[in-house]
């Protein structure tokens, strides 16, 4: 293109973000920032903030926030929600709350984002309180709202409350539970040791449970070392035969029970199927990766 407008740049950055190519999105955004004199529009800022959230590019996200305030952008639904989500993913809930409070209007997406942000950062009771405040504001919750709410109940171990909200979602708000809702409930009940209820819930699901659902169940059940551990572990392997974590959990359960033939059998199955254990990433690894990505983006335009 011989000439590029703010719309052109915005469309390209948005395209990268939508295809989860966040590093390239950030690189392009920085080119606009440093090598053009055009004003940045709201759509471009929203996409750039989403890239910052995924990359952990805190300094760039803060710069965008400063630009928003300096140019007197209104904290609309999309821009405000994306900004509070950015701070939440950086673990800065107080700043998320400040953005939320500055928004002149809030829709169900905004409330849901705030509830999820609080729950994912461990502010579980605050997430539940936000949900109650949302109801008082006469907004009707949607499926995403209940995912955040059930995550909060799960993290806090609030079994009765979680069961109540799950029931209300279906009976009062007529929302059909998705795999995410069932996953939250399975995890909550599993952690509470209510394995019978978990099994009943899984078997009553209107769709085939995937490996994630069985995985929520099995990771806690396998540690209980019961006959149910073996049965659930085997069901998970039928669904996801390449899931290395289930093999390890099942082998550990056999080992604790002293069933060494079972341990040997699991290891043979792993070898035959070419399944290898994968080393986990700790928080330091993730931070280093994020730093490398943002450093690469910055260096590429110098």
In a domain, 64, yes or no: yes
What's 47's DSSP letter?
H
pLDDT band at 154 (very low <50, low <70, confident <90, very high): very high
What is this structure's pTM? 0.70
Q: Is residue 278 part of a domain?
A: no
pLDDT band with cut points at 50, 70 and 90 for residue 300: very low
Euclidean distance between CA atoms 190 and 209, whole angstroms = 15
In a domain, 15, yes or no: yes
How many domains, the chain? 1
Q: Is 230 in contact with 200 (CB distance < 8 Å)?
A: no
52 in any annotated domain: yes
First to last CA, the chain: 23
Query: What pLDDT, on the 0 to 100 scale, is given for residue 282?
Result: 43
Residue 207 burial (10 A CB sphere; 0-12, 13-18, 19+): exposed
Q: Does some domain include residue 61? A: yes
Q: Is 115 among the domain residues?
A: no
Rounded-to-integer distance, Cα 185 and Cα 165, Å: 10
Residue scoring higher pLDDT (223 or 248): 248
Assign 298 a pLDDT band (cuts: 50, 70, 90). Answer: very low
Nearest to 54 by CA among 283, 294, 295, 302: 294
Residue 37 CA to residue 252 CA, distance in Å, equals 61
**Distance, CA of 30 to CA of 59 (rounded, Å):** 12
42 inside domain: yes
Asked, for residue 38, whether it belongs to a domain, the answer is yes
Of the candidates 71, 84, 138, 129, the one whose C-alpha atom is nearest the C-alpha of residue 107 is 138
What is the pLDDT confidence band of residue 140, given thresholds at 50, 70 and 90? very high
Beta carbons of 247 and 275 less than 8 angstroms apart: yes
Q: Which two tokens stand for residue 240?
A: 């996801």
What confidence tier does 275 reach under pLDDT thresholds 50, 70, 90? Answer: low
Instruction: Give the span between the Cα atoms of 69 and 272, in whole angstroms.
Output: 59
Q: What is the pLDDT of residue 82?
A: 95
Question: Structural domain of residue 25, as residue ranges?
Answer: 1-73
A 10 A CB-CB count for 247 gives 22
Tally Cβ neighbours within 10 Å of residue 105. Answer: 10
φ and ψ at 137, to 5 degrees?
Answer: -80, 5
């Amino acid at each position: 293109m011989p000439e590029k407008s703010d719309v052109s740049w915005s469309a390209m950055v948005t395209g990268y973000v939508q295809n989860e190519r966040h590093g390239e999105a950030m690189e392009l955004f920085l080119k606009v920032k440093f090598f053009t004199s055009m004003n940045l529009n709201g759509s471009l800022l929203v996409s750039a903030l989403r890239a910052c959230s995924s990359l952990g590019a805190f300094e760039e996200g803060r710069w965008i926030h400063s630009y928003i305030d300096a140019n007197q952008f209104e904290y609309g639904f999309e821009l405000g929600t994306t900004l509070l989500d950015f701070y939440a993913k950086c673990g800065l809930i107080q700043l998320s709350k400040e953005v939320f409070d500055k928004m002149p209007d809030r829709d169900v997406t905004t409330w849901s984002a705030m509830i999820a942000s609080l729950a994912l950062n461990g502010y579980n009771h605050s997430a539940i309180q936000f949900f109650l405040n949302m109801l008082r504001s006469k907004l009707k919750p949607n499926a995403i709202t209940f995912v955040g709410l059930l995550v909060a109940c799960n993290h806090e171990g609030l079994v009765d409350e979680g069961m109540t909200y799950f029931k209300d979602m279906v009976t009062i708000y007529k929302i059909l539970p998705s795999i995410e809702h069932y996953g939250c409930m399975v995890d909550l009940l599993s952690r509470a040791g209510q394995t019978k209820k978990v099994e009943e819930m899984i078997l009553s699901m209107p769709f085939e449970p995937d490996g994630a659902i069985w995985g929520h169940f099995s990771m806690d059940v396998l540690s209980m070392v019961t006959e149910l551990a073996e049965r659930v572990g085997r069901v998970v392997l039928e669904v996801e035969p390449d899931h290395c974590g289930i093999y390890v959990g099942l082998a550990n359960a056999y080992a604790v029970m002293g069933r060494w033939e079972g341990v040997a059998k699991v290891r043979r199955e792993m070898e035959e199927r070419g399944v290898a254990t994968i080393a986990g990433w700790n928080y330091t690894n993730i931070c280093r990766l994020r730093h490398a990505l943002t450093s690469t983006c910055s260096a590429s335009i110098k």
